[in-house]
Chains A and B, each alone.
Chain A
Amino acid sequence: MLRQVKPKNARAKRAVDAKEPKIVENTKQALFVPGQTSNQLLHDAMVDLCALKLPDGKRFNKKNEINPFEDVSSLEFFSEKNDTSLLVFSSSNKKRPNNLTWIRTFGYQLFDMIELQIVNHRLLRDFKAQTVGVGLKPMFTFNGTGFETDPVLMHVKSLFLDFFRGDTTDLQDAAGLQYIISISAGEVQEDKPLPLINFRVYKIRSFRSGQKLPRIELQEIGPRFDFKIGRRQAAAPDVEKEALRVPEQLRQKTKKNVEVDNMGDKIGRVHVGKQDLGKLQTRKMKGLKKKYDQVEDDEEADDEVVTTKKARVEEEEYFNE
């Protein structure tokens, strides 16, 4: 735990408030931590991955003696200190060469982690292509059946989507759709190790197609990695449930009694209360006035008739005057 310091001025207070948990969260920040056994390739890979993540990425220069699968506490400390919930840790040894450990934290505590070992690579500088601007939201394509079925590949999908998606927005500039991150995996076969994860980044080039929609062509801009999946630590079920909860304020309320039918027509049902037919206003006539209402008793009814006659006579007289 970090020492909690009471902010002494407004600027410090703003900085503390920015770290507080929020209903609509900040963009997840990433931290790249080289391990003691990191090498040149891992360094270059982290530089490239950080370049993709910028401006939400931060890279440490010094090596750290950490073994995430044995003790993750120092990485949790880095996460809290730098307010980064995404961490990438590099290490390389004989058993697991060129290894990147991708860690996510929830509330500065470990959420899940997975090891991805670089098998094939082509770095950003090896591509002689112009890259895209910093801070643009990427598009994603996940190719392969396993991303919907296999828990490990689903973890990989969730991780990469979470890692690179950047700001969440409901408005997207069409001109900002400039590159796509393609993550592919072969078929998952039983009794065989999991397939390699193919990480590719392509720039979108659009051409006139004669229609309204453009024809899309791709150009690889790098970096290119083929990852072999190593060890994995899944999220604890209760933590996962907590982390996936959507705040009540953000939950979309379903509108009652509004449906869209198969034809795409919107149908709304309106409920009016039960109508009181006794108070229904019908055509106004003298004979229907309340005082002429027929009463059940016959005698009284006779009386009524008499009175009505009288009344009529009176009225006639009135008009004659």
Chain B
Amino acid sequence: MSEIKTVTVEKPVPVTYDLGNLAVFDTNPVEVDLNDLNVDGQAREEALQAVSRDNAQLLINQLLSQPIKNTTDSNSSSGNQNSTMSLIMLPQPSTRLPREKPIPKPKAMTKWQEFALKKGIKSKARDGKLVYDEATGKWVPKWGFNGKNKELDQQWCVEVDDGKGSKKNQEDVMLDPRALDRASRKKLVKKNQKQHERNLKRGVSK
């Protein structure tokens, strides 16, 4: 074919694009009357293909003139075969399409998170579970099995609080300090569980 193939398309009414969805909307009527069932099937197909071709050309012209981002992807695990890919950067889709599911509601905050936000408290960086034990020269867990917070349980001899200070301390003098230590730990766990339950009631999911 000696005819020069052009890449430009003339339309009486300019088409609109939704490049985010790779779509083109053409409001020009199709040349063949599609409603007329007397039109020969072949003619109809040719007309449809012609108008689709023109719109495809317009769409591709638009797409290829969008900004391009080059990426380097390594194709193999050994990484010696690199290829650059030219990706067309698409704008946001402009046609509004319904969502599949409702927008998720923001998660409820725990009582502490709410408080911390109000006071502007930032959580500290965690410095690991292990802590150095001066006595044995070993790294031991802060809590849990053989945890540092249980070291009183193991001891054969424990110093007793002399009962000075608060009234409560005076009452506790006669109790086993090991049991006391354990009880206070259990109390903290109970308290935490209660707070957790209260948060669950507020709608905080696990």
Contacts and interface: CB of A to CB of B under 8 A. Distances in A.
* B and A form one assembly: yes
Contact of B7 (A21, A157, A211, A240): A211
Contacts of A240: 98
Interface in A211-255: 211-218, 220, 235, 240, 242-245, 247, 252
Contacts of A184: 30, 34, 48, 51-52
Contacts of B55: 141, 143, 182
A142 B5 contact: no
B56 interface: yes
B19 to A, nearest CB: 9
Contact of B102 (A21, A177, A207): A21
B68 to A, nearest CB: 8
Interface string A160-187: 0110010011111110010010101111
A106 B97 CA distance: 11
A140 interface: yes
A171 B69 contact: yes
B122 to A, nearest CB: 22
Nearest to A216: B57
Interface stretch (A194-202, A280-288, A290-298): A194-202
A187 B98 contact: no
Contacts of B140: none
Interface stretch (A60-68, A144-152, A305-313): A144-152
Contact of B89 (A107, A170, A180, A209): A170
B27 interface: yes
A44 interface: no
Given A26-B100, A141-B52, A148 B34 contact: no
A186 B60 contact: no
Contacts of B179: none
Contacts of B101: 21-22, 25, 85, 106-108
A105 B100 CA distance: 7
B118 interface: no
Interface residues of B, number: 54
B61 to A, nearest CB: 5
Interface residues of A, number: 74
B21 interface: yes
Interface in B63-92: 63-65, 69, 85-92
A104 interface: yes
B87 A245 contact: no
A189 interface: yes
B112 interface: no
Given A172-B22, A202-B56, A243-B98, 6 more contacts: A140-B23, A173-B87, A195-B35, A198-B48, A218-B49, A245-B99
Interface of A: 20-23, 25-26, 28, 85, 104-108, 111, 120, 137-145, 147-148, 157-158, 161-162, 165, 168-174, 177, 180, 182, 184-187, 189, 192, 195-196, 198, 200, 202, 204, 206-207, 209-218, 220, 235, 240, 242-245, 247, 252
23 contacts: A23-B103, A85-B100, A139-B23, A139-B59, A141-B23, A143-B55, A158-B97, A161-B21, A161-B23, A168-B93, A170-B89, A174-B63, A182-B51, A184-B51, A195-B34, A213-B61, A213-B64, A215-B57, A216-B57, A218-B49, A243-B102, A244-B96, A252-B92
Interface of B: 4-7, 20-30, 33-35, 41, 45, 48-49, 51-53, 55-57, 59-61, 63-65, 69, 85-93, 95-104
4 cross-chain pairs, A with B, having the tightest CB-CB distances, nearest first: A186-B34, A243-B98, A21-B101, A140-B23
